[in-house]
Chain A
């Protein structure tokens, strides 16, 4: 009977006739992935489980085209694909139109697609296990439970307390598992085309992770950086050329919204009011709206699939890309789903640096205020000082040698530093070098004392900020003006102190 129905349907409508030939491109022959950091993330490290940056994927695909019109569907693309950014080149007939279809196959969409059409209703007798199937027609949308009509009459699905379900013959052709990208093209003859598909995708991020080691002499720094890449997509990019772009670039469209698959609503079945004595099923009381559908399932757990890979030290090469910096990893790598990968980004073995201790203080201060100074490593990013390469932003771990082992001194951050920039890395506080403020009521002078309890003389730079209402005058020793503030540079002797005092004047 069911077959007969289908035959009848087909006979009356004709077979699905279409001039378009559908070609499925299952995957790429080769690929390259250019990873961009999240422009809003700042200098910290990435979240490998939920990467917030993005990537440009370039894939070479070989496609066999028939003569005439064809639709090419691209499969095996990243989940976070921004379809509006997709570009396809290399087709002899060009691209007539690009489509991203996002009606997803779900229980609700399957049922909605069968509205008014014949389906099978299956009941299983709970006592005997006997299965009864019969033809039925869906009469309502699945938003508020299903009303079905069969030879018996009109009934509501699963309101009887009996196990019952609907069985469909086929999946409507416009429903897909994930959003799919397809293009329409045409060719005047059968041919084989090597096409390039490029698209932006979310679910990637990268950062530079610096490891700085202070040499035993305390004069030079060995600066190594990892290029840490995370792929949060569920698609693998095997044997991919990997590139990373440093610098901050503009992003104006909402990539998450563009890349996200639309919600696939769950099938929610509610019935007529049922008696309730516990008072807990209030929302089932008649006349109230059915309870909201349950929230969509949480994203699949990524913990289990997470893997950290550390690849050997072949250092990336750097080139200019307009006003950005491009890093090219010298070998192809496998970018695994839900994985993080690290390759060497750069390595400068001996950067001459100075250590100084800094504080930025207001000229007006509480008399009893005090605190430790900040250890700052300073070098000029030039070849003369052993550096002279662009330093992309990222986290920095500072190590110093203690005998044969290196110990962590500080965790710090690196900004985007161009060649020639003065690089200052704030690397923790030194409890042995403190400042203390004082105020002498009699002379109306403010005092600042630096106290070094360590065994080495230490070099300090203190910036005193005054303002137009309270000018710093009559300082001893004399201060120099720098960048709109006063600068006091002094070497504090081992187990000794240094002293500054000044007045504040309010101009009339």
Chain B
């Protein structure tokens, strides 16, 4: 019996729902049109959505469902031929049972009591008087509190109040010179979309080469899917500078390059378009290849950085570092967008094994990179403060010794850096050393120490500090 009643209202509702269905996914029900998404690195995207809208002549209100659930409504811009904007609205009065009851104050609702013993139903009309801490109803001449006795009572409302919505809703009021369906373009910024690069680097230490594949990884946590979207990734972060302190990060770039990559640029940013239109689903991580370079020269190196007057009882493993270039000749021949580089190396059976990962910043083409992959099992340094002596009231000498050991069957060169030579109000110089050093900056001196195969070597240096 109720089914007959149902037919009419449902049919009235159906066309809107059905027309909004997307052809590729019957469950998507998206109202999006021709979508283009431009994604920046700092969790920000520009969405452009061209929809075919029937706009009547005169002033009318247009709602936009299926925009990003995290839309920044203040960034919306709307343009349609022959229509000017009167106002833009963002309404987030959401439908819930409590709101429904609140909006029913002073109105009449239907209540259905069910007898728990017999199942018999009794219908009554009730007027909602208040919802403060409980719902107070007027039924005929009686005043009752809804479900005060704990017995089952259904409350039936006539309709959903006009201003309550399932989701936050964006709307514009436009004044159109003519009636008719035309392209209307929406443009807005939304957080929740971001991207980074992931690199797979297969390193062959013996042959001194590296194969690098680059993938752009875009993530969509914006709460909305974008269908059949043209996608453009911008290697950069725009604006959103909050000022304040920004610590300088350590970087893998040893020498920044001066070559221009053969990629499209926008302002100072490189662009990485995704070739085909694609669906960016909500909660999706999508990866598309953008770089595949074989047999780039690379070499393994070792590095150790010792803090000022740092001494250790046990030898410490040095870091394994992979050096390579992004230059056109003898390098990757491309700029690298920031991301994670995962290094692999083939084992004795020829299967690639993971040997560590590191981060790269946005790296210009032509740069020299040195990426630490982990600690070397077989190459160790034991730094020792042998002695500190006072030369005068303001002058001290520190005798340092560094014992290096190498359990590999070939000689290695360790880049040993002593840092902390310049803090606050002092001035440190090297009085004598067993191997010439290079002062790479005021704070640190660096030696290239060669350790023989299956052997050890020691480096000594005397530092003089003036306070």
Contacts and interface: CB of A to CB of B under 8 A. Distances in A.
11 contacts: A9-B14, A12-B18, A17-B23, A98-B286, A126-B116, A126-B119, A134-B3, A156-B97, A159-B97, A253-B359, A483-B311
Interface in B355-397: 355-359, 372-380, 382, 384-390, 396
A161 B146 CA distance: 11
Nearest to A507: B390
B312 to A, nearest CB: 9
A492 interface: no
A141 B97 CA distance: 11
A66 interface: no
Contact of A160 (B96, B153, B159, B378): B153
Interface string A1-34: 1000100111011101110000000000000101
A270 interface: yes
B74 interface: no
B100 A322 contact: no
Given A137-B13, A322-B205, 7 more contacts: A13-B26, A18-B24, A99-B286, A127-B115, A135-B10, A141-B166, A285-B133
A194 to B, nearest CB: 15
Contacts of B396: 468
Contact of A390 (B98, B284, B377): B377
Interface in A132-172: 134-135, 137, 139-141, 143-147, 149-156, 159-162, 172
B261 interface: no
B170 interface: no
A118 B18 CA distance: 11
A9 B26 contact: yes
Interface of A: 1, 5, 8-10, 12-14, 16-18, 32, 34, 36, 39, 56, 58, 83-85, 87, 95-103, 113, 115-118, 125-128, 130, 134-135, 137, 139-141, 143-147, 149-156, 159-162, 172-174, 198, 200, 243, 245-253, 262, 270-276, 285-286, 319, 321-326, 328, 360, 390, 415-416, 418-421, 467-468, 481, 483-484, 507
B356 A249 contact: yes
Contacts of A13: 18, 21, 23, 26
A139 B166 contact: yes
Given A246-B377, A324-B377, A421-B405, A140 B356 contact: no
A468 B388 contact: yes
Nearest to A420: B407
Contact of A101 (B5, B281, B382, B385): B281
Interface stretch (B32-40, B44-52, B346-354, B439-447): B346-354
Contacts of A113: 27
A101 B379 contact: no
Interface stretch (B80-88, B313-321, B424-432): B313-321
Nearest to B135: A272
Interface string B388-428: 11100000100000000101000000000000000000000
Describe A's contact surface by its main secondary structure: loop
Contacts of A328: 347, 349
B266 interface: no
B175 interface: no
B240 interface: no
A250 B357 contact: yes
**Of B27, B97, B131, B160, most A-chain CB atoms within 10 Å:** B97
B6 A151 contact: yes
Given A117-B29, A421-B315, A153 B157 contact: yes
A484 B385 contact: yes
Contacts of A10: 26
A270 B98 contact: yes
B347 A321 contact: yes
Given A84-B287, A126-B119, A324-B377, A147 B314 contact: no
Contacts of A272: 97-98, 100-102, 131, 135, 146
B268 interface: no
A408 B150 CA distance: 67
Contacts of A249: 354-357, 373-375
Contact of A273 (B133, B286, B352): B133
Given A275-B134, A326-B347, A162 B114 contact: yes
A321 B27 CA distance: 50
B117 interface: yes
Question: Could you say which interface size class chain B belongs to?
Answer: 35 or more
A154 B157 contact: yes
Interface string B285-297: 1111100000000
Nearest first, the 9 closest Cβ-Cβ pairs linking A and B are A249-B374, A156-B97, A249-B356, A161-B152, A275-B134, A323-B376, A144-B96, A418-B407, A127-B119
Interface of B: 2-3, 5-7, 9-10, 13-14, 17-18, 21, 23-29, 94-98, 100-102, 110, 112, 114-119, 131-135, 145-148, 150-160, 166-167, 198, 200, 203, 205, 213, 215, 217, 225, 274, 276, 278, 281-289, 300, 311, 313-315, 317, 320, 340, 342, 345, 347-349, 351-359, 372-380, 382, 384-390, 396, 405, 407, 454, 456
A273 B147 CA distance: 10
A151 B156 contact: no
B158 A153 contact: yes
Contacts of A18: 24
A394 to B, nearest CB: 14
Nearest to A258: B285
Contacts of A160: 112, 114, 152-155
Nearest to B400: A484
B26 A155 contact: no
A248 B318 CA distance: 11
A174 B25 contact: yes
Contacts of B134: 273-276, 286
A140 B198 CA distance: 39
Contacts of A99: 281, 284-287
Contact of A102 (B7, B132, B285): B285
Contacts of A321: 345, 347, 353, 355
Contact of B359 (A95, A243, A252, A360): A252
A98 B287 contact: yes
Nearest to B117: A127
A90 B265 CA distance: 34
Given A99-B284, A159-B97, A161-B147, A484 B311 contact: yes
Contacts of A147: 95-97, 100, 160
Interface centre among A95, A275, A285 (most CB of B within 10 A): A275
Nearest to B319: A250
A10 to B, nearest CB: 8
Contacts of A39: 374
Most buried by B among A12, A160, A322, A483: A322
B429 to A, nearest CB: 19
B282 A103 contact: yes
A271 B98 contact: yes
B392 to A, nearest CB: 11
Nearest to B128: A272
